[in-house]
Amino acid sequence: MKPEKKPISIAVCAMGGQGGGVLVSWIVTLAEQCGWVVQSTSVPGVAQRTGATIYYIEMVPPDPAGRTPILALMPTPGEVDIVIGAELMEGGRAMLRGLVTPERTTLIVSTHRSYAVEERISPGDGRIDPAAVHEAAAIAARSVIAFDMEAVAQQAKSVISAVMFGALAASAALPFPLSAFHDAIRRGGIGVKASIRAFDLGAARATQPVAQQPVPASPSPVPGLQQLTGHTGFDALLSRAAALPGAAHGMVDAGLRRVADFQDLAYAEVYLALVEEFAATGHEALSIEAARHIANAMAYDDIIKVADLKIRRTRFARIAGEMGARGGQPLAITEFMHPRAEEVQAILPYGLGLFLEKTGLGRRLLAPFVKTGWRVRTDRLRWFMLLFLTAELYRLRPGSLRHRREMRHRDEWLALVRAAWRLDANFAVEVLRCRRLVKGYSDTHARGLSKFDQVMKAVRKLLGHGVSGAKAATWTRFLRDAALEDAQGKALEQALARFERGAMVEGN
């Protein structure tokens, strides 16, 4: 008696917009045209907010006796033959779920990164180390095919699902000829030429050995000042910046462009003067950190800046490229915007904004308009013009409530940096780096600003109690790192409690 043939099980993990559904339809068509019985199911996620969509496919050759097989609806840990991840961390999550096993599973995964929400909202650098996923894959899977499939898709001017389908064909994990894979794409009937081109490139790339990253013989050179722009005023600032320490040139260049783009040339000149002050100390790290963090402090996020970014031509072009819109195809763009009442009244003139804030009148007047947020169609003239007029308010920004507060906050912070410099250079560098805590807008900005103010309060205590410079630098770095650990601030609370117990005791 011949042994009963077991089904082949495939799990596809993909985020919204990565063509997971298209890939599954090709696999189903492939199996059906080869005479196999096949079934597919899916458990949808919401892009990266609640997890990727997991598609599950089981296929089995037809039974000679005509019996209808019963196929599973969900992947079972330890019993999946092929796992396909449309992004590196999706492969990692599949391994964590137990879907990848060394005795059975072929893992096919793209090595590019689309950062998850958890990585993006982290106060510090929340990016997951990709090396850990590569190391785990080498142990967890029977065989691994891993390369940047997104880059191959862009090269072919197609979609990543076609490249993944090509990698699946090259893996030989399915007993079907290459021509059958091509036929499955043709039967789909959409973007056939580009999809087959991407399929062939993906299949070819999957058979190549994994490329080793070359180890640089020396550190990468520090970028310098970029070429002159042709704008007389801005080029004059770049010429002044050339006199600063060479190691800071790249950061100063980026800072000047960012600050000038945020407001105007006069504002950029103020930025450069502040950087020159700290560069005059001759301390390289202080110059670099001043160039970096003063720019961030001066080019803060407000409603005016957000409106400007939403309607930029370069942004529309980028979205069109990502969505594959070509040949003048219409593109509908819906933005979800939910400004708080405080953010709206903050862009008003200082006196008016302060009055509305203190009396609570601004919140009461604005609450009906900002309560639920807006779905903004930037591809339509009405919304585009509203955002355009909001962006044009940058001309009035220097007199706004928010700007006055941001500049006062900047000046108080830099005063602490100057005081720290008189005690110890490394202490001053650490105080400058604390500006990392403040970023974003709305609730994210409020949380970061609160943490920053708590750390600055500790810095004032360090300055006022005659603590040694080395110790002050260590405590500042310790508190900043704790503040960057979590969004809720629990680690910072514990660190501040420890600071209050031991900061003023020598040796702690």
**pLDDT tens track for 137-193:** 888 899 999 999 999 998 988 888 999 999 999 999 999 999 999 999 999 887 889
Residues 424, 464 contacting (CB under 8 angstroms)? no
Q: What count of other Cβ atoms lies within 10 Å of the Cβ of residue 115?
A: 14
**What confidence score (pLDDT) does residue 338 get?**
84
Residue 353, judged by CB atoms within 10 A of its CB (0-12, 13-18, 19+), counts as buried
**What confidence score (pLDDT) does residue 275 get?**
96
**What confidence score (pLDDT) does residue 18 get?**
63
In the chain the domains, ranked by start, together with CATH numbers, are: 8-206 (3.40.920.10), 417-508 (no CATH)
Closest CA to 372 of 337, 334, 333: 337
Cα within 13 Å of Cα(91), Cβ side: 33
Phi and psi dihedrals of 219, rounded to 5?
A: -60, 150
Residue 168 tokens read as 């699946």
**What confidence score (pLDDT) does residue 120 get?**
60
Q: How many residues are listed for the chain in this entry?
A: 508
Residue 448 tokens read as 């970061």
**What confidence score (pLDDT) does residue 424 get?**
93
* Sign for the pseudo-dihedral over CA of 435, 314, 226, 155: positive
**pLDDT tens track for 86-105:** 888 888 888 988 899 999 99
Residue 495 CA to residue 488 CA, distance in Å, equals: 13
Residues 311, 352 contacting (CB under 8 angstroms)? no
Q: Is this prediction's pTM over 0.85?
A: no
Scanning the structure block, which residue is given the tokens 């006055």?
A: 404
Please name the residues in contact with 214: beta carbons below 8 A apart, sequence gap of 6 or more: none
Residue 504, judged by CB atoms within 10 A of its CB (0-12, 13-18, 19+), counts as middle
Residue 141 tokens read as 């899977």
**What confidence score (pLDDT) does residue 50 get?**
46
**What confidence score (pLDDT) does residue 363 get?**
86
**pLDDT tens track for 422-439:** 999 999 999 999 999 998
The residues of the chain scoring below 50 in pLDDT are: 1-3, 47-50, 211-222, 506-507
**What confidence score (pLDDT) does residue 14 get?**
73
**What confidence score (pLDDT) does residue 354 get?**
93
3-class DSSP assignment, residue 107: strand
